[in-house]
Structure 1
Amino acid sequence: MNRNVTMIGVPMDLGQNRRGVDMGPSAIRYAGVLERIRTLGYNIEDKGDIQVKKETLGNENIHNLSNLDPVTETNKSLARTVSSINKEGHFPLILGGDHSIAIGTIAGMSGYFDNLGVIWYDAHGDLNTADTSPSGNIHGMPLAVSLGLGHPTLTTINGDFPKIKPENVIIIGARELDEGEKDYIRQSGMNVYTMHEIDRLGMSEVMHQSINYLKDRCDGVHLSLDLDGLDPHDAPGVGTPVLGGLTYRESHLAMEMLAEAKMVTSAEFVEVNPILDEKNKTAEVAVALMGSLFGEKLK
């Protein structure tokens, strides 16, 4: 993996309706992310936080899209920042914030790869659009937006084209999907490892299949890890917890196998909410998983 890492925080809490996730980047920093990655021999620079402009924030819900304008502006800024990190030849490491920030991260990465792959490590599909979303919360839409589905204000960030292809996406850990998302998955043939498949196959086999699939078709891989992909017992500080999730140890194995594959070209860790957490446990889990992703080993 690239030894030069640039870290950016995105204190976004507008993609959903539970306050507190905007403090996620601070909680992750407090949990020692810089020291952890530096100890592994990386040159990591913390460039601070993207400004989240809330001046236009009201109770607007445009076309069943809550806070559309500020979410769009923040993701435009993030896309420009990620693009500049790529130009410098560094690895972008993004700290969330709610999962709507993936719109900007993937948009910023998309200009540098012909076939960008995405590993979506999450309890949810985040494949809703304004037409299918039960809530209108944009943090349930970033994967759809990146695929070119949804409101043009969002899908045209950093260019009017789909940023990724459905055949280059793998969802791992899904256990709560809305009906519209299920329909899209069936129609597109997207690779999804639900908890059912993970229980049957085991995490080692799931990651083995995922890595072999992506390495043969993608020239870069973005990891988008939502902490609610883990079981709430291991990661309680998230806004939309779902029981029966991935274990702490399964998640470490997944990160360790990605590190061995040397295929991840950018990563984001999102949905850490300190208000809902227990003594910063979820932020500490996030940092520990980053350690494994960047090659940390016991021996």
Structure 2
Amino acid sequence: MLNKPIEVFEFPTNLGLRRKVDEVEPGVKALPKWLKYHGFYEALGIDTVYGLPAPFYSMEYNLKTGMLNENQVIEFAERQALLLGKHLRTDTFKLLIGGDCSILIGAALALKKKGSYGLFFVDGHTDFITPSLSKTGGIAGMDLAIAAGLGEEAITNIDGLKPYVQEDHIFCVGNREFDRSYIAPILDSKIHYFDLNRARSMGAAKIVDAFLKMVEEKFLDGFFIHLDVDVINDELMPVVDSRAEDGFTYEELAPLLQPLLHHSMCIGMEITILDPSLDENGVYTKRFIDFFLSLLEE
């Protein structure tokens, strides 16, 4: 296990996702209860759990900004940051459970209020686009851009703290959506970008070493990990909102995450997008839990 106690923060929001035609609403907000039901908290030895109630889901589309549920996401992010800010001690590991990827905004905001942090962003998408490139307006597909200060001021500059994470303090690893217009914004940024193919050819050890070297050279206060489970191979993790072929196997993902989780400067991690409504028997969830627990072994 980790060398410090784990505190869980439950952020069960689905506001960042657009409802599909056959859905009542996206099911990702049930993830904290789902993981707990399958023994995740017990296996981790969790004694301390904080959290926010799930916000009411809507499909409020802002015609001016092109974003879905913008005001509600901002409000939830502010509440997240307030809660996290009360508990951001360095002697505990913060495990944030979504919900969709928009929880990164509140997490990044809380970290900015505390100091200067790096972000190791592991995701099957870059999430580094503006509403003009989005097909849905869902903020869960723009969260990294927002955290780095790209986009509408109302959401990128909460409390005048833009950017929440500097571009050159971010490593984005695992994207497998290769459309040129989609990746253009991140290629034009200062983010350290490793798509799936480049990550495989470079190797996990070199990427991790480069990230930790950056954290040291920039004199950062620590770093945070974002894990969207859609970065995992589609055959191993099909219970996500935006599926795509290929993706990291668990064997490929482990050497990326394990050394970072055990590093003394890692303040925490968030897990997003696993949708319990798509995993009726919990088969994929149980495999993920086993994988995550294996990461905590030295």
**TM-score between the two structures when normalised by the length of structure 1:** 0.87
Per-residue CA distance 1:120-170 (angstroms, 9 max, x = gap): 100101111223322211101111111111122211335432111111100
Asked if 1:37 is matched to 2:44, the reply is: yes
Per-residue CA distance 1:65-121 (angstroms, 9 max, x = gap): 01112222111111111111115954321101010111111111122223x100110
- The secondary structure found in structure 2 opposite 1:269 is strand
Contact residue 130 and residue 142 of structure 2 kept, 8 A: yes
Correspondent of 2:108 among 101, 106, 109: 106
Distance 1:282 1:157 in 2: 36
- The secondary structure found in structure 1 opposite 2:125 is coil
State the identity %.
25
User: In the TM superposition, what is the alpha-carbon distance from 1:4 to its structure 2 partner?
Assistant: 3.1
Residue aligning to 1:22: 29
Residue aligning to 1:213: 214
User: In the TM superposition, what is the alpha-carbon distance from 1:251 to its structure 2 partner?
Assistant: 1.7
Residue aligning to 2:70: 68
| Mean CA deviation greater in 154-163 or 138-147 | 154-163
Distance 2:210 2:89 in 1: 31
Per-residue CA distance 1:193-226 (angstroms, 9 max, x = gap): 1111123223333333333333432321110000
- The secondary structure found in structure 1 opposite 2:213 is helix
Contact residue 15 and residue 138 of structure 1 kept, 8 A: yes
Residue aligning to 2:147: 146
Distance 1:289 1:149 in 2: 34
Contact residue 10 and residue 95 of structure 1 kept, 8 A: yes
Contact residue 121 and residue 172 of structure 2 kept, 8 A: yes
Distance 1:278 1:208 in 2: 39
Asked if 1:226 is matched to 2:228, the reply is: yes
Contact residue 255 and residue 292 of structure 1 kept, 8 A: no
RMSD, aligned CA: 2.3
Q: 1:82 to 1:69 in 2, by over 3 A?
A: same
Residue aligning to 2:23: none
Distance 1:237 1:216 in 2: 38
Residue aligning to 2:248: 246
| Mean CA deviation greater in 86-95 or 18-27 | 86-95
Runs of at least 4 residues off by over 6 Å: none
- The secondary structure found in structure 1 opposite 2:172 is strand
Residue aligning to 2:135: 134
Contact residue 107 and residue 158 of structure 1 kept, 8 A: no
| Mean CA deviation greater in 251-260 or 239-248 | 251-260
Distance 1:58 1:242 in 2: 25
Contact residue 123 and residue 172 of structure 2 kept, 8 A: yes
Q: Which amino acid aligns with 1:214?
A: V
**TM-score between the two structures when normalised by the length of structure 2:** 0.88
Give 5+ residue unaligned stretches, structure 2: 20-25
User: In the TM superposition, what is the alpha-carbon distance from 1:185 to its structure 2 partner?
Assistant: 2.1
Number of aligned residue pairs: give it.
289
Give 5+ residue unaligned stretches, structure 1: none
Distance 2:236 2:280 in 1: 10
Distance 2:172 2:103 in 1: 17
Distance 1:96 1:133 in 2: 21
